[in-house]
Amino acid sequence: MSPLDLSTLHWRKSSRSSNYGNCVEVAFNGRAVAARDSKDPDGGVLLFGAATWASFVDGLRAGRLDA
């Protein structure tokens, strides 16, 4: 599998981000989902497979990940 070119991704901020700088940005490319801290766009990026990300989002929506 070839590496993902992060420079070509279109990043969007989470609609659940707060006004206090606690923001997450995500970008999709079909085969992977990238997530990063919006305060540090040149910092680290977490990469997830599309199916793994979909499972994570489903768990959030269902409340299975609530503390």
Domain boundaries, the chain: 6-62
Q: Which residues pair with 25 in a beta bridge?
A: 13, 36
Whole-prediction pTM: 0.78
Of residues 45 and 21, the one with the higher pLDDT is 45
Instruction: Check whether 53 has a pLDDT greater than 60.
Output: yes
Q: Side by side, which strands form the sheet with 24-28?
A: 12-13, 24-28, 32-37, 46-49
- Give the Cα separation of 55 and 49 in Å (integer): 10
Q: Residue 66 belongs to what H/E stretch?
A: none
How far are the Cα atoms of 5, 34, 40, 54 from residue 47, in angstroms, in the given order? 12, 5, 16, 13
Instruction: Check whether 30 has a pLDDT greater than 60.
Output: yes
pLDDT tier for residue 63 given thresholds of 50, 70 and 90 = very high
